[in-house]
Structures are given as C-alpha cells and as structure tokens.
Amino acid sequence: MNIFERFMQIDRRWIFLAIGIVVIIPFFFPLGLPVTVTEPVQNLYDALDEIPPNGQPLLLAIDYAPATLPELEPMSLALLRHAFSNDINVAVLTLHPAGYGLAERAMNQVAEEMGQVYGEDYCFLGFRPGLSAVILGLGVNIRNVYPEDAYGTSLNDIPMLDGIRNYDDIPLLITLAGWSAAEAWVLYAHQPYGQDVGAGVTAVMATDLYPFLDTGQLVGLLGGMRGAAEYEGLINHPDAGVRGMDSQSAVHILIIILIVLGNIAYFGARRKKREMERDAA
C-alpha cells in the first residue's frame, strides 16, 4: 500500500480529533482576524438604528432552539444591546416552544446588564403555536393573539405597549430563527401587511433567504456566527460571535487543506493503480 492509498484509508476519527484541536487552540491563543461588515448586516444595523427612542417598540422574535444556540444567541444579545443602548423599547416573543427559555435568558441577561425595566423598556409576550396564523393574527391585533404577556399580565397593563395595536405600530420586526420561521415572517408579515422584516438565521439557511434581500422583502440579514460577529463589531461589543470566528477561520483552513490533500491522494492513488495495471499487462 503506497502513501496515497494509506491517506485515502485514514480513520475519520483522526480528522474529528484534528478539527477539535483546531477549534480549541484559538480560544487560548486568539488570532484576532479582522471581521469586515457586509451590506446585509449594515442594512439591518441601520434599520434598527433609525427607530426613534422610547417610542414604538422593536418586535424581536427569538424563534430558535438549543440546537442553533451558538449561532443565534450571539445575534440576539447583540441586537438587544444595540436596541437598549439607543433607548429603543423591545417586545420579545417566540414561535418555537423551545425558544421560550432561551428568549427569557437572552432578554434578562442584557436587560440586567443595561439596567432596563420590565414593562417600560421591554416585555416578553411568550410562545404561541401556529406560525402563520399567529403572524397573520398580529397584523390584526396583537391582543387577540397575546391577551397576556408570558407572566399573565394583561397587555393593557404594560406601559410600553400603550397604543400598540398591530404591525402599523411596529417600526421593525427582527426574527432569529434556525427553521422556516424566518421565511414565514416574510410571507405573512411583510407580504400582506408591508411590515419591515429583518432576519438572523443559521448559516445553513442564509442562502435560502438571499433572494428576499434583493427584492426588499428583508431589510437586512445576519447569516450564522459570521453575521453575529459583524454585528458585534458594529456595536463595539465583541462577544461570542467574534471569539468564535477565529476558530471558524482556523477550521476552514484545515478543511481546505484536507480537501486538497484528499484530491492529491485520490489522483495519486489512481495514477499508481493505472501504472501497476499497465506494468502487469
């Protein structure tokens, strides 16, 4: 067995180990690679920045589950920090049952960090099942879908929601989702009601949503951990997104090297085999 054939039959667990090591090293020795801001991220930042302070709220839909937490939680933290630092009120809700605790976690963490008051600066509407029915219902009257917030308080008793009836009173809606919820907000909030929608999605989903950027159906888009890192850069608060990008870049380099080596080994092994067959003939 020549070196090429041996490389082709390498136990894949060695590759897992290599990727694990390459992910861990940058946590201890950060590379500090620059993260440039792309247009969809800048557009979302600008759209949020234009919301007048202490007025109509940003509607933040934290529609993710633990499986997509590493990509989407840094986005929610960065968006909440940006909104609260501009004194923008935030109404949080979730359309994913597993998003309930995660929404609370992100919201409470940033609210505590920035001294925000529940009911005056932010509120949590909770979870409702039904996706499209819920999104369409919010366009008629928020109180029809959420008569109470997540803690049983009537929406009429929440000061920041005074006069907030439907999408006409929501300047911007941002959904953070690792499933089809992001597209659903475009279909059922933007399309029938003209609601401005921004999205933060997992990298896997980003390519599916790019067509909605070109048509203006999405005002901006954060794609994966990279999108979170870009947003953290814009608000000057580097966190898990920026920290993770060093590991991300290192793994990408490793994968490229492995692809090149794999191809060299494949073609090398094929050439050797052909030479041996020719010699035998």
Question: Using the rule CB under 8 A, is 13 a contact of another protein?
Answer: yes
Question: Using the rule CB under 8 A, is 225 a contact of another protein?
Answer: yes
Question: Using the rule CB under 8 A, is 258 a contact of another protein?
Answer: no
Q: Which residues contact 98 (CB under 8 A, 6 or more apart)?
A: 65, 66
| Bridge partners, residue 200, by sequence | 176, 222
User: Closest CB to another protein among 51 and 160?
Assistant: 160
Which two tokens mark 23?
């992910």
Q: How many CA atoms within 13 Å lie on the side-chain side of 79?
A: 36
φ/ψ of 129, rounded to 5, equals: -80, 160
**CA angle at residue 141 from 129 to 181, to 5 degrees?**
35
Amino acid code (one letter) for 92: V
Question: Using the rule CB under 8 A, is 31 a contact of another protein?
Answer: no
Question: Using the rule CB under 8 A, is 203 a contact of another protein?
Answer: yes
Among 207, 260, 263, 276, interactor with another protein by CB under 8 A: 207
Integer Cα distance of 229 and 247 in angstroms: 12
Find out whether 181 and 96 touch, Cβ atoms under 8 Å. Answer: yes
Among 8, 18, 70, 109, interactor with another protein by CB under 8 A: 70
Site for another protein in 121-140 (CB under 8 A): 126-129, 132-133, 136
The site for another protein (CB under 8 A) is made up of 13, 16, 19-20, 23-24, 27-28, 67-71, 97-98, 100, 126-129, 132-133, 136, 143, 147-148, 150, 154-157, 186-188, 190-192, 202-204, 206-207, 211-212, 214-215, 217, 223-226, 240, 243-244, 247-248, 251-252, 255
